[in-house]
Structure 1
């Protein structure tokens, strides 16, 4: 039996404000089997507490903040380890979750010659924010993205995500961001370390071939693709790699046979 389960959330556990069928039973089986697990999400808008409360509102109880790693957490950890300045600053295009994680590692949020421009999905994005981000990068700020996802699955369809904003800023500046979240295997390594397991003893569950599956594969993990998010069976065949397992939803996963 695997020693750790690492699962995406959007499109795997829920779509927007609706629970994916079978997700509640899957999480209960994780608890019952005492399988260590983490929810690993490219969502940088919300804090672990926000995500815990969201899942509780959907009927999934028994979780703690320690059951989550977000792209905001991974980005803050990366910048803390990379930064050499005592009082580093960042301009943020993103939500409160990202700002909170940056504050936690000692960064100040600034619009005065920031050291970094850090970009995530932003539901309140304005043209003024885009102008400032472009100007700061042109003046030497380092360009960081929390994740490359172009779209997010929600109830009723899809909506633009962080990658869309990154593409606009990149087009305007001619510079590409360094992206910390999936598919960067850094996030997978952080998750495995938190579980106290080697990557080869972990399974990564996700709905995206270009982030979840390739990130887990490159980290040395087994991978499971679920078809409850953005990837269809037809789309899966377009990639030069494949997951170890494919299921319709997480409710179909038999932990004992992984």
Structure 2
């Protein structure tokens, strides 16, 4: 049996698709709450605040509060605040990122920032690109919330934060520090919040490139749910590409729930 006692749970593709709950997501979270199993929802999405994310989950019938949510924006803000409290930062992003920076006590400064913090920005422009590149070339450190090249939109896949970052990196000649999955920085932030060790923690997710790779990089257990990006047909190819093999593979969230609850019951 596993010795995992806490879980980091992906959202899109694991808990829901868009605004539709994946079957068994509510039952999994209710079971974890009933058995007092520590968990956090961990997302690369930097555009929403934890309150926004929790409200989205509740609207689908999944129990959630802001304290249960860990976003790449919050982790990026705290990463900078721990390095340099009150640092002047220039955000390139949306509401969730700007609120996270303010909550961490950082100073929004578009004159002489010491950090450029970038996430998804659906109003990104040539002017913003030129400005960001100038800040970075003048010595500002570059922090990227998450490297996702694409994200789902109403009309199919849309450019993500990683695509914007590619242009800034090309224009500035500087690659960013990446916070979100598959980086271990986001996972360490979440693990520290739960007050557990990596080897006591398992990541539950559907994406080999992000969730499962991040868990492996952080020294966590990994539970792959075949509820989204990864399926039986592409699993072998994705394991070869990532060089990562999940500890456990579950066909659905009912199987995940049985695994999680079973491991707790066997330990008591």
Q: TM-score, normalised by structure 2?
A: 0.87
Aligned-pair distance for 1:159? Answer: 2.7
For residue 200 of structure 1, what is the aligned residue in structure 2?
199
1:236 touches 1:242 (CA, 8 Å); kept in 2? yes
In structure 2, list runs of 5 or more residues that go unmatched.
Answer: 264-268
1:15 touches 1:153 (CA, 8 Å); kept in 2? no
Is the partner of 1:204 in helix, strand or coil?
A: strand
2:35 touches 2:261 (CA, 8 Å); kept in 1? no
For residue 37 of structure 2, what is the aligned residue in structure 1?
35
For residue 130 of structure 2, what is the aligned residue in structure 1?
131
Aligned-pair distance for 1:154? Answer: 5.4
C-alpha separation in 2, matches of 1:249 and 1:164: 31
For residue 72 of structure 2, what is the aligned residue in structure 1?
71
For residue 175 of structure 2, what is the aligned residue in structure 1?
176
C-alpha separation in 2, matches of 1:158 and 1:66: 30
The one of 18, 21, 42 aligned to 1:19: 21
C-alpha separation in 1, matches of 2:157 and 2:29: 25
The one of 233, 238, 242 aligned to 2:245: 242
CA RMSD of aligned residues (A): 2.0
C-alpha separation in 2, matches of 1:197 and 1:188: 12
Pair 247,157 (structure 1): closer, same or farther in 2 beyond 3 Å: farther
Is the partner of 2:241 in helix, strand or coil?
A: coil
The one of 51, 54, 57 aligned to 1:55: 57
C-alpha separation in 2, matches of 1:29 and 1:158: 33
1:18 touches 1:155 (CA, 8 Å); kept in 2? no
Q: Which has the higher contact order (CA 8 A, sep 6+)?
A: 1
Q: TM-score, normalised by structure 1?
A: 0.90
C-alpha separation in 2, matches of 1:16 and 1:215: 22
Pair 244,155 (structure 1): closer, same or farther in 2 beyond 3 Å: farther
Is the partner of 1:54 in helix, strand or coil?
A: helix
Pair 154,225 (structure 1): closer, same or farther in 2 beyond 3 Å: farther
Q: How many pairs are equivalent?
A: 255
For residue 105 of structure 1, what is the aligned residue in structure 2?
104
Aligned-pair distance for 1:153? Answer: 4.1
Is the partner of 2:242 in helix, strand or coil?
A: coil
Aligned-pair distance for 1:99? Answer: 0.9
Is the partner of 1:21 in helix, strand or coil?
A: coil
C-alpha separation in 2, matches of 1:141 and 1:5: 35
For residue 150 of structure 1, what is the aligned residue in structure 2?
149
Pair 149,16 (structure 1): closer, same or farther in 2 beyond 3 Å: same
